[in-house]
Structures are given as C-alpha cells and as structure tokens.
Amino acid sequence: MRDLARGMFVFGYDNYMAHAFPQDELNPIHCRGRGPDRGDPSSDHIMGNSSEFQKAVKLVINTVSFDKDSTVQVFEATIRVLGSLLSAHRIITDSKQPFGDMTIKDYDNELLHMAHDLAVRLLPAFENTKTGIPYPRVNLKTGVPPDSNNETCTAGAGSLLVEFGILSRLLGDSTFEWVARRAVKALWSLRSSDTGLLGNVVNIQTGHWVGKQSGLGAGLDSFYEYLLKSYILFGEKEDLEMFNAAYQSIQNYLRRGREACNEGEGDPPLYVNVNMFSGQLMNTWIDSLQAFFPGLQVLIGDVEDAICLHAFYYAIWKRYGALPERYNWQLQAPDVLFYPLRPELVESTYLLYQATKNPFYLHVGMDILQSLEKYTKVKCGYATLHQVIDKSKEDRMESFFLSETCKYLYLSPWKEFFSEEGGPDQVGKSGHRPKPQELKVINSSSNCNRVPDERRYALPLKSIYMRQIDQMVGLI
C-alpha cells in the first residue's frame, strides 16, 4: 500500500512540477497550471525523497514572491501556503531529522522569512473590523479590497491559530498569534447562550449571525479541529476549555442515534445540521468535510464513537467509489454529486489505524487508494469527479490531494502530528499531550491507550451494526 501511495504522489507531483509550478493547482486533463503562484515544498520529505525536497525548497526560494497584486482568501493562504512554508522550515532545521537528511546547505531561514512576509501581508484583514474577526480576503499588495465582503465563515476566520501561533513562536513576535487568538475569542463570544453552538456565517462588523446552521461540515469543521490542535501544540488551557464546551454542545444537540456505538438498539450515531439557537434539525444532509470528525474524536480518546461515524462515511464511499460533496441521509442519495479528491476520510482512517492498529483500516485505505486510481487518474494527474455516479471528471487537481490525501494514504504505520493542510507541526521541545482527565469525553467507553487486544483483530463494529450502516446508505 505504501509503494502504491508513493507512486500516486509521485505521478501527481511530477506532473504538477512539469506543467503547473509555481501556479497553485494542476489541470490534469489538459496538463496546465491554474491559479496564483504558490509552491509547496513540504510534501516530498514524507515520501523519503530528500533530493526532490531540497530541489523544491530551492525552487520556492528562487521563484516565489508575494509582492504582487493578487487577492487571496486569508484562510486558504494561511493553511496552504503559510503552513507549507513553516512545515518545510521546521523539517530543514529539526536537529533530529526524523525523515532522513533534509537539511539544505547554506539555508538561512529563507522559508521562515517568506512566511513572515506573507503573514504581514495578511494582517490588514484583521484591521478595521469592529469584532476582531478578519475579512475573508486581502490583496497581497494593497490590503483589504474596497468592495470586500463583511461576511465570513466561522471555520475560515477561526482556523488560523496553528499557523499564526507557530510563526509567532518561531519569530518571537506575538502579533500573529494575538490577532488569530482574538478572532477565535470573538467568534466564541458570539455562540448561542441557550445551546452553546455557533453558526456558520457571521458579519465581521456587527457580529450578527448570517448563517445560523450549526454542524460539523463546511463553514465550521476546522474551527473545532484548531481548538484542540492549538491546545496540543501550545498548551493554552483556554483552547481546551473552549473545545470541551463545544464538544459537549455538539453531543447535546447534533448527535442522533443510539447512545453507544457498538451495543444497544436504535439507529447508528449520526451528527446532523441544526439551528444554532434552537437545536432544531435544519436539513437532512451531511457534507464530505464532516468526515474529518472521527479523526478528531480519536485525538480526544472517543474512539468508539469515531469507529461508528467513520463506518458511516466509509459505507458511502463503498457505494459510490468516492465521497459525494453532500449526501442526503434521509433520501439515501447524494445532493451534491462532485468529489474534489478531499482527504478528510483518509485522515480519519489513518488516525483510527494509529489508535486501534486494527488492519481493517489498512483495508479501508487500500480500498480508497484503488478507487482513486480507477476513477480519477488521467493523463497528467488525478482529476476531480464531477459526478460520483457516472464518474465524469472536471479538469482540476486540488493542491490538498498531494499535501494531504496522498500523504495520509502513505503514512498509516507512522506517528506524526499534522495541521489542517497536512503539514507536520512541532514547536519547541514537544507538543502538549492532553491528560485523559483534561478531555471531557462523552459517550466513550475506551480511549487510545485502552483498546483491548481482541478488538485489534476483529471487525471494529459488530457485524449486525455494520449491516445496519450499509442498509442506512443503500448498500444492501
């Protein structure tokens, strides 16, 4: 499986470098680039290719500049570009060199300087907002555009703390972490006093919730992820307190189905979209981004619930050979049919294997890899599926396919900590590992350190519950 995943990455990466670099993405059908300059040097090291990693770093240093009249999304520029630069810098300067010799002769912190330059150009997004929540877009040369939208999603504004925090600590300049943390606190202060839930779209000037849907998918997903990962990285108790409170509200209002994953009667556990103020169901669909949540549950030790939720998303994958962007669980059919090679299900599979060592999750990884090879591989890379039913394609290979999807498929037997865009993040001597009593886990009968040996070699779910989930998505 590892060799196949490496081959998938190399095929996509080589074609990106040949036809698209330094542009953001590859059009794999017509073999050309698209989007602004980006350059991501932080993936080759994982595959053990030191020479290509070093070559990519030098290319980025010599060819990429942020001094251009280009308007970017603050969130995407942070997790994809800033995160890549910081990850590559840490890989080069890590005295332990865990991935082999990735050092570069005469390296003078150029990637860190580039990250600093980019972050300074993003800072105007945090200015002139009455709430402290940043504008969603900024021009790298001129600042916030005059016609900028005052509405932003919770995930986009509240998922900057990992990269900005790492940058602040590497530079010894608290500015970046301070503005990112202020945005998180501002969003947190706007949560419903009745339910403790947040909405998915907010006005950055008034603090009014424009989008009142609360769920685990688009618009909210990485907000929760960054609360926990920020605590693991930096050890700030307020991050953990916010996460624990958010997780409690999620369990109280979003979770449906039986109390336990692997015992009892009733429907399998499922997390739905509700109104943030009332907790009432808003619709009957989930989106593919929600597949990250089992992985997050693994990180806090709620492995049993993670197993059940992951099984639901994997059943959808088995039915279509991909994960539709939006799936209606009541109609047992996709609402939005495309699949842009997203990594969330793969990441959760990787983390569940690390937690349980159950070879079932290696089987899941291989199944996903083979589906990608069968349905998405084209002349110059891997293409977005326009329609998961007929497998028609769009001429686009998102950058996260290389930096996350391929990487998690390759990494299953390894242990590492990754940020939103799949980069290894290690700050200082070590990250802060939460103590079990610090994490207020609900509905959990086990954690990562207490998976019984007999569970490692059986199906993670009893067969009756596996069949129940398969029936739930129309597989049988």
pLDDT digits (tens, 9 = 90+) for 109-162: 999 999 999 999 999 999 999 999 999 999 999 999 999 999 999 999 999 999
> Pairing relation of β-strands 71-73 and 285-287?
unpaired
Main-chain dihedrals φ then ψ at residue 179, nearest 5 degrees: -70, -35
Give the percent of the chain with pLDDT over 90: 83
Give the percent of the chain with pLDDT over 70: 88
The per-residue pLDDT for 167 is 98
**Nearest-CA neighbor of 45 among 113, 96, 82, 79?**
96
DSSP letter string, 191-220: S-TTT----SEEETTT--EEE-EE-SSTTT
Confidence band for 417, pLDDT divided at 50, 70 and 90: very low
Asked whether 114 and 170 are in contact (CB, 8 A), the reply is no
Asked whether 1 and 362 are in contact (CB, 8 A), the reply is yes
Range of 39-53, 55-69, 160-174, 448-462 with top mean pLDDT = 160-174
DSSP letter string, 356-398: H--THHHHHHHHHHHHHHHHHEETTEE-EES-TTT--EES-B-
pLDDT by residue (tens digit) across 381-407?
999 999 999 999 999 999 999 999 999
Q: Using CA atoms, how far apart are residues 424 and 45, in angstroms rounded to an integer?
A: 10
Rg of the chain over Cα atoms, rounded to whole angstroms, equals 21
Asked whether 64 and 55 are in contact (CB, 8 A), the reply is no
pLDDT by residue (tens digit) across 318-339?
999 999 999 999 999 999 999 9
Main-chain dihedrals φ then ψ at residue 327, nearest 5 degrees: -125, 130
Q: How far is CA 132 from CA 116, 207, 215, 418, in A?
A: 21, 10, 23, 27
- Mean pLDDT of all residues in 173-194: 98
Q: Using CA atoms, how far apart are residues 371 and 366, in angstroms rounded to an integer?
A: 8
Q: Kindly state the helix (H) or strand (E) to which residue 23 belongs, with its residue range.
A: strand 23-27
Ramachandran quadrant class, 315 (left: phi over 0; alpha: psi -120 to 50; beta: rest): alpha
Neighbours of 245 (CB within 10 A): 15
Answering whether pTM is above 0.85, one says yes
Asked whether 110 and 39 are in contact (CB, 8 A), the reply is no
Torsion 39-41-47-51 (CA) sign: positive
Please enumerate in sequence order all residues whose Cβ is within 8 A of that of 426, keeping only pairs 6 or more positions apart, or say none.
90, 94, 417
Tell me: pLDDT of 428 over 80: no
Residue positions annotated with a catalytic role: 76, 221, 325, 344
Torsion 275-278-284-286 (CA) sign: positive
The amino acid sitting at 42 is S
If you count them, how many residues does the chain have? 476
Q: How far is CA 77 from CA 84, 196, 350, 390, 399, in A?
A: 10, 30, 25, 33, 12
List, in order of start, the domains of the chain with CATH numbers. 1-36+284-416+454-475 (1.50.10.10), 65-274 (1.50.10.10)
CB burial of 322-341 (b: ≥16 within 10 Å; e: otherwise) equals bbbbbbebeeeebeebbbbb
Confidence band for 413, pLDDT divided at 50, 70 and 90: low
Asked whether 384 and 396 are in contact (CB, 8 A), the reply is yes
Please enumerate in sequence order all residues whose Cβ is within 8 A of that of 36, keeping only pairs 6 or more positions apart, or say none.
23, 24, 68, 70, 72
